[in-house]
Amino acid sequence: MPPKSVADLRVAALISVGKHPSSGRARRADQDARAVEMGLGLAPGGLEVIHAGNPNETVLRDYAGMGLNKLKVIEQSADADVVPALSEYLSDDCPDIVLTGVRAESGESSGMMAYLLGEKLGLPVVTRIAEIRAITDGQAEVLQALPRGQRRAVRVALPFIASVDSAAAPARQSAYGPAMRAELEADSRGIEIKDEVRAGWEENPARKRPKRLKVVKAKTAADRFKAATAKATGDGGTVMRDETPAEKAKAIFDLLVEEGVLR
C-alpha cells in the first residue's frame, strides 16, 4: 500500500548485479529487487533506479522488466570503488529516500554501502527495513526486520537511506518485453576512483569451513565416557511440587517477565 499523502515523493533504488547462491550465475540481486519493488510501491512516478558499473550488463534488464521505463547507469569499470561516484551523483539532487540492499551478492559483500553513503551525504541510515508504513510531514515510519521474525517501528526524517531486508515484500516477476524496451541511460561524466586496496587481495572460491568439534577436556576416561554418553540435563533447576497452582503459575510468570518474552 503506497502511502498516498506524498504525491511528489522521489525515491532512488540502487541496484547491483547479484549472484545465484548455488549456480553462481549472475542474476537480479534478491534484496535489490525487493528495494525496487518497495520503490515502485512508494512512488511509481518518482522512482529512479541507479546502477554504477557496466552499462552493457544484461542482468540489468531483469530489473527493467519489473516495469521500469528507464535505468540510470553510472559508468564505472569493474575495479572501481562505486561509492564516490554514487555519492557525487546523489548529492547533486538528493532524492527523499535512497534504498539499497543490505549486502551485495558479489564482490566484497561488506554491507558498507548504505553507511558510507550516509556518512558522505550526511543522511540518517535505517538498517534492514521490511516496509515503509507511512510518510507524513516529512517523517517516515518504517518497519525494521529483527531476528526471529520480530519487527520494530522506527521514525526517521526525510531524506534518509534505508537498506532493504529479505523480509520485505518479494519482487514481482520480470517481464521480457518491457525489459527489452526499457532504456538504459549510460552516464560517463562522473568521477571514477580505482579501488587500489582491493587489487592486492586474493579471491578464491569459498573453502568449506571445518566443523567445530566438541572437545571434552576431562582428566579421566570415566569422565570422558560420562560426557560422551550423558543425556542433556540442565544445571539442576528449581522444582516446585507442593505449592498451590497459583503460586506455581506465578513462578512461571516471573520467569517470563524476567526473560523479557512477555510483552
Partner 1 sequence: MSDDIIRRDPRAEWIARNRLHPLHDAMKQAGAAEVRGPSGLIRRNPHAVGFIGPNGIKRIDRLNGNSQAGGSRRAAAKTVDLPLHRVETPDYYIAVVPDLIGGRLTAHDKDVLGQAHQLVSAAGGAGAVLTIVFGDIREDSFDKSGVDRLMQFSGEQFEGYAPEARIAALEHIEKSLAPKFWLFPDSVAAGFELGCRLAARLDERPLTQAWQVGPETTLCRGAGGSSDITRPTQRLLLLAPECANPIDETRHEALAMEAVELGATEGKLSDLGQVAVDPNSVALGEAEFILSAGNGVSNWDNFHRAAELLGATEGGSRVVVDDGHMPRFRQVGASGTWVTARVYVAVGISGAVQHLQGIGQCDKVVAVNTDIGCDMVKRAALSVIDDGDEVLTELMKLVQEYRQLEVTDAA
Within residues 83-112, the interface with partner 1 by CB under 8 A covers 103-112
Which residues from 228-247 bind partner 1, rule CB under 8 A? 231-241, 245-246
Q: Which of 24, 44, 138, 170 binds partner 1 (CB under 8 A)?
A: 24
Does 199 contact partner 1 by CB under 8 A?
Answer: no
Give the Cα separation of 69 and 24 in Å (integer).
28
Phi, psi of 152 (to 5 degrees): -130, 140
Which residues from 38-77 bind partner 1, rule CB under 8 A? none
130-159 footprint of partner 1 as x/- string (CB under 8 A): -----------x-xx-xxxxxxxxxxxx--
Region from 49-57, 65-73, 175-183, 197-205 binding partner 1, contact rule CB under 8 A: 197-205
Rounded to the nearest whole angstrom, what is the least distance from the CB of residue 251 to partner 1 in the complex? 6
Q: Is 64 helix (H, G, I), strand (E, B) or coil?
A: helix
Q: Are strands 160-164 and 193-194 parallel, antiparallel or unpaired?
A: unpaired
What are the grid coordinates assigned to 134, written together?
Answer: 507511512
* CB of 157 or CB of 169, closer to partner 1: 157
Rounded to the nearest whole angstrom, what is the least distance from the CB of residue 127 to partner 1 in the complex? 5
* CB of 87 or CB of 174, closer to partner 1: 87
Q: Where are the beta strands (DSSP E) in 102-159?
A: 125-136, 139-145, 151-157
Give the Cα separation of 49 and 260 in Å (integer).
42
Phi, psi of 188 (to 5 degrees): -110, 15
